[in-house]
Structure 1
């Protein structure tokens, strides 16, 4: 890098830090959520949403469970204004949902905002002005006193216009660029605003502390939030809100630590869409809580639908590795991961524990409407026996012996490696049948007769090998052993029958059964075969023939 010394830290530590928040290890209740997708999210799009898209997005947010939704900056454009009026005039806002509108602390913009919200039942008017050192010096060229006066005048006008309208609008104030503002000055401005509004228990004010630009590590922001929470006037009647952006990639961490530090509310967007690197991702934040056993009060049980709708409305794409929502976040390609997940799932079925503890899966994918077969165990050249075995067992009812599962795993890996593609469950099943089931060349058994003897069974086997037909007799302690010995005698095969396993494929009187046979070759390696038939003896012989052909 050319010259890191051109940069310096642009944040300010509070004059007093106590770090009480650092003693907490988790967030024990959900915050008040406010979606700003229709404002922050919309203004960050290359092509902003049109009216119909915004209406449908609003309905989606209501469906998910948001009770506070920032619908836009109605004084900013005719589209924003029309959207808000459409929501109000067409009665699209549920009685339990509060809309929030944004305005700068400028008289004509505040006036236009109040015109836009006329007739709405539940409204938060969110006023802001910038307070940071950089903004004061470079943009506004005003002193602290002058910036403070802007906030005071804006707060007064909100109160006056609300009283004139005979409404009970709630108020929110943001010292924009809070993270670049001296905390004691931010506190002075916020307290001056609160002195005008005089919030009460039945009409609380919101003080929003935005991470307009991330300048510090999350623990610094938490200390700033804690300082504000401990020193704001009327604290019992103030909702402390956070609005983190993600410039340093710490939006979620800022939010979580800020909540530990005393904040009550989060403003963010679905999937983190917002200016520059985005806003805090509410999906991630809410489901982090969910994974700790805390009800987030937002419903993401139909995640695929939410993702599809979001991409349709915004034109954005959700990254495949985006936490919880990405198409591949539950997918395990690694053999060791697949094996652990498969064993964990079996353990859950057997032990039925109270809590979810499956390795590599922080939450149950089915809670988000995801499917184990399609979304969790995925097979490619990095996969192993556990994943292949799990798919064959759960999707097709095949419970392979452990060593055969290993052989099938290597077979699938080899095909995936050669074709350079992921194998779908149906392709894995077809590969299993093609490799381990009904392989009748060069050996094929065409006729078998049994006779029970004092020591077991004798058999007469008619078979062909490379086109040559032979009939041979054999004896054994079981039918399969007798057939094996007859084939060894006929062709001089050298192997030991070491594994035999069977199970039903269907639960009915006419169900078919599958048999698995493993034979050990002279070099110590194993060869495998499987047979499927309504007669288990026929299935066993078919499995033995395939194993011999695979030796």
Structure 2
């Protein structure tokens, strides 16, 4: 075990996606996994295979494509039962480096009220399930959930049993974000000092941000002897989120002299990773976000500006280039050819398929006709927008709107449907965007609720490219004719609603708003189709009561549904 190396365990695709509104399609999960591999994280927790057939398929596909011999370890989460562990094991089979991550609570409040088990029963289950997982996989991680609210002596006993039964990584979750840095660092040090065998395994941190100290707790844990940090891009996750990957990585990178530790993360990929995840889940990065926020390297104060002009180190402890925020001006223009443009985007670190490249190039040419100056921020926004692989069940073919003081905002929309049919409708609204959305809804006729609508300017100036993100929530039809907060699946059970995001960039803000809304709607419709198909397969195979129990061979090449 390399005592100077801190492993980065990314759980964006598991814990991060569990956050309300952070649902991703299979193709989006794959793109995030590819980016995590480019960034050289050590472990990708690809998902929770027992949650649904779609989750199993996503983990399986990530393991197949990203889990190469020289790539990251692919981990899957499993509760402490054989069925979950079996699903996790089959899902990660294609990966060269595999890990099963199983968990069981150790706090009295969880044992009594959630699991209804005694301490003795929980210890017995931990020993049995870690032993079973270890019989399948050489790399097993065990997490005593709610560790920071557990009785320390009982926690030590649970960890000792897990080590004896084959766990190679011990994760210490601050599940509800309750701990403080001093407490958490002391707990990690106490585990190393009091648990037999702890010196031979990797101890990991997993901290939530309910009190705003997830990053501080993670770093305190590392200082106390942990050598793995579990974290997510942009800190997304349950409730207030997880420790932010970019923050813990740059803290260790910038303060290496203090910690004496390193990660293998390629830091120049941090900003790109942040933008990719943000666009997929429809949650903008706050401008004051550390490391990757728009203001992270901005200086407005006269004193600060003076110092930075003389020497950037006066007010910057790291360079923007280190995290991939170069912001170089693009030297290409509307007369540039495909070859030069491809070389430039490759220099930015992007590798596109021929189809994606063609889409981005067409948008680039159009943008050059509309803007006087196009820089790398515009190009990266186009790339993110055009490579999301949002399904096009309905295609926006035409949008026209009229609005102004004293006018009734009106919009006409033409869509091309799944069978290639063209349909047009018009609507009035409180503004042009509202009118467009009402016209689209009349054509698609699938109830949904607009949860969030945000507009950002990618660059400066009146001709700036607008970046629009929308989030919608699927609505079911209630017996009374109104909206229902749940939907009915094929097994007759009610399923919780999901929130879907759409993203677009365009010099015309209203058109960007229409494109973003269509992206969210198409994603909602595609996930609904995948869900119904998976449930139909489960129902036909006799797994109606437990679609998650579907055997692996019911899926074609690991794709969802």
Q: What range is the shorter-chain TM-score in?
A: 0.5 to 0.7
Q: Deviations over 1:241-260 (max 9, x none)?
A: 11111111001110111111
Please give the alpha-carbon distance, in whole angstroms, between the structure 2 residues aligned to 1:107 and 1:194: 19
Q: Deviations over 1:455-480 (max 9, x none)?
A: xxxxxxxxxxxxxxxxxxxxxxxxxx
Secondary structure in 2 matching 1:43: coil
Q: 1:93 to 1:341 in 2, by over 3 A?
A: same
Structure-2 residue corresponding to 1:186: 155
Structure-1 residue corresponding to 2:43: 68
Structure-2 residue corresponding to 1:231: 194
The 10-residue stretch of structure 1 (78-87 or 288-297) with the greater mean CA deviation from structure 2: 288-297
- The RMSD of aligned alpha carbons is 2.4
Cα contact 1:241–1:264 (8 A) shared by 2: yes
Residue 207 (1) aligns with residue 182 (2): no
* Correspondence 1:4-23 to 2 at 5 A: none
Please give the alpha-carbon distance, in whole angstroms, between the structure 2 residues aligned to 1:222 and 1:90: 37
Which of 322, 331, 334 in structure 1 is aligned with 2:298? Answer: 331
Larger Rg: 1
Deviation at 1:373, TM superposition (A): 9.2
Structure-1 residue corresponding to 2:213: 250
Please give the alpha-carbon distance, in whole angstroms, between the structure 1 residues aligned to 2:233 and 2:27: 19
* Correspondence 1:267-278 to 2 at 5 A: 267-278=230-241
Deviation at 1:225, TM superposition (A): 1.1
Cα contact 1:45–1:314 (8 A) shared by 2: no
Q: 1:361 to 1:195 in 2, by over 3 A?
A: same
Deviation at 1:367, TM superposition (A): 2.3
Q: 1:343 to 1:368 in 2, by over 3 A?
A: same
Unaligned runs of 5+ in 2: 330-456, 463-561
Secondary structure in 1 matching 2:267: coil
Please give the alpha-carbon distance, in whole angstroms, between the structure 1 residues aligned to 2:461 and 2:17: 41
* Correspondence 1:111-190 to 2 at 5 A: 111-160=86-135, 162=136, 168-190=137-159
Please give the alpha-carbon distance, in whole angstroms, between the structure 1 residues aligned to 2:308 and 2:230: 35
Secondary structure in 1 matching 2:176: coil
Residue 196 (1) aligns with residue 165 (2): yes
Residue 34 (1) aligns with residue 9 (2): yes
How many residues matched? Answer: 328
Q: 1:306 to 1:192 in 2, by over 3 A?
A: closer
Q: Deviations over 1:152-187 (max 9, x none)?
A: 121122133x1xxxxx53111110000110111011
Structure-2 residue corresponding to 1:369: 324
Deviation at 1:114, TM superposition (A): 2.3
Secondary structure in 1 matching 2:77: strand
Please give the alpha-carbon distance, in whole angstroms, between the structure 2 residues aligned to 1:91 and 1:306: 16
Q: 1:101 to 1:302 in 2, by over 3 A?
A: closer
Structure-1 residue corresponding to 2:180: 217
Q: 1:313 to 1:426 in 2, by over 3 A?
A: closer
Q: Deviations over 1:377-403 (max 9, x none)?
A: xxxxxxxxxxxxxxxxxxxxxxxxxxx
TM-score, normalised relative to structure 2: 0.55
Secondary structure in 2 matching 1:243: strand
Deviation at 1:29, TM superposition (A): 4.3
Please give the alpha-carbon distance, in whole angstroms, between the structure 2 residues aligned to 1:268 and 1:88: 19
Q: Deviations over 1:168-225 (max 9, x none)?
A: 531111100001101110110111122222x6xxxxx001101101223210111111
Q: 1:47 to 1:279 in 2, by over 3 A?
A: closer
Cα contact 2:144–2:159 (8 A) shared by 1: yes
Q: 1:298 to 1:118 in 2, by over 3 A?
A: closer
Secondary structure in 1 matching 2:17: helix
Structure-2 residue corresponding to 1:309: 276
Please give the alpha-carbon distance, in whole angstroms, between the structure 1 residues aligned to 2:319 and 2:95: 40
Structure-2 residue corresponding to 1:457: none
Cα contact 1:30–1:289 (8 A) shared by 2: no
Deviation at 1:231, TM superposition (A): 1.8
Secondary structure in 2 matching 1:118: coil
Secondary structure in 1 matching 2:288: coil
* Correspondence 1:326-475 to 2 at 5 A: 326-345=293-312, 358-371=313-326
Q: 1:30 to 1:270 in 2, by over 3 A?
A: farther
Unaligned runs of 5+ in 1: 1-27, 163-167, 200-204, 346-357, 375-421, 428-551
Structure-2 residue corresponding to 1:297: 264
Q: Deviations over 1:120-174 (max 9, x none)?
A: 32111111011112112222232211111121121122133x1xxxxx5311111
Please give the alpha-carbon distance, in whole angstroms, between the structure 2 residues aligned to 1:91 and 1:253: 31
Which of 320, 334, 345 in structure 1 is aligned with 2:287? Answer: 320
TM-score, normalised relative to structure 1: 0.56
Deviation at 1:45, TM superposition (A): 4.1
Q: Deviations over 1:27-61 (max 9, x none)?
A: x9441111001100111141511100000110000
Secondary structure in 1 matching 2:50: coil
Q: 1:154 to 1:300 in 2, by over 3 A?
A: same
Please give the alpha-carbon distance, in whole angstroms, between the structure 2 residues aligned to 1:337 and 1:53: 40
Q: Deviations over 1:500-550 (max 9, x none)?
A: xxxxxxxxxxxxxxxxxxxxxxxxxxxxxxxxxxxxxxxxxxxxxxxxxxx
Residue 81 (1) aligns with residue 56 (2): yes
Structure-1 residue corresponding to 2:514: none
Cα contact 2:76–2:99 (8 A) shared by 1: yes
Q: 1:88 to 1:334 in 2, by over 3 A?
A: closer
Please give the alpha-carbon distance, in whole angstroms, between the structure 1 residues aligned to 2:282 and 2:144: 31
